[in-house]
Amino acid sequence: MRLFSSEGDTVELPPGHRFPMAKYARVRDELRREHPALVHEASRASWEDLSLAHDAGYLAAVRDGTLAAAEVRRLGLPWSDALVARSRRSTGGTLAALGWAMEHGAAGHLAGGTHHAFRDRGEGFCVFNDLAAAALVARRDHGVRRLAVVDLDVHQGNGTAALLRGDPGVFTLSLHGAKNYPFQKEVSSLDVELPDGCEDAEYLRALDAALEVVAAHRPELVLYQAGVDALAGDRLGRLALTHEGLSRRDARVFELTARLHVPLVVTLGGGYGRDIESTIAAHASVYRGLVERLR
């Protein structure tokens, strides 16, 4: 079992920026204290691997810092060399977890889940789409024919849906808030829209039904976007799950992959709690559950 970190590259955001960049190092440090042998630093993704998911022109504009002002605004993060390095490493962490999971059954990346990046643009704090890149690397390097992306972030995985749409071997599930960002949704293989204020019982009923549809796809690999922004009190969420509800959510995904006997890759995704300690606890709980599953 391994958990991969992307903290070899960090980004300093302007004071007051609403993206909680500090959460990543906090989650890594907490899990490293508990499982020091499990946490390993990832390498940056190669431009070649990124080109499987993104247009050459977009990659060049990111690399060279020539994104238009409107593109930077849509991204929601100021461009810098540090952002480019961090975004490459964030994809690299998911690819490292993929390689380990294909050999050993499961792995986690303590970042990633950047599901709003499209082939030709980034948005919603997502520069590169690590989930789409991992799906395409799984095809190229590991011979995976059928796979599923299970996206349980509170925001629809619009970039992932668009990037992988039309491939009958890829099933994309997005269980998300109906009235939340992005306000113009893409079409996943299965979209399940939830009302504002949705609590544990309603959420888990919807998830159970959705995961049976995923199982019917017969995936050979599951990529899990385990955002915790469905937690009650999240600044960008609007749902009302408890910590216990999130843990039961994760357990259902872990149980599905165990039942199907397929590798699992877990990525961190969103979490923007007013109480950052609650967000960090929720993120760390996902990976504790993963470690427990493999004992």
List, by residue number, the catalytic residues: 116
- Coil, strand, or helix at residue 281? helix
Cβ partners under 8 Å of residue 134, min gap 6 = 94, 95, 97, 98, 223, 265
Decide: 152 and 178 in contact? Cβ < 8 Å: no
For residue 236, what are the CA distances in angstroms to 35, 72, 115? 31, 20, 16
- Give dist(CA 285, CA 157) in Å, integer: 22
- Coil, strand, or helix at residue 96? helix
For residue 132, what are the CA distances in angstroms to 52, 170, 191, 236? 8, 10, 17, 24
Q: In what order do the strands lie in the sheet with 147-151?
A: 39-41, 3-5, 106-109, 264-267, 222-225, 147-151, 170-177, 190-194
Q: Is 252 exposed, middle or buried (0-12, 13-18, 19+ CB in 10 A)?
A: middle
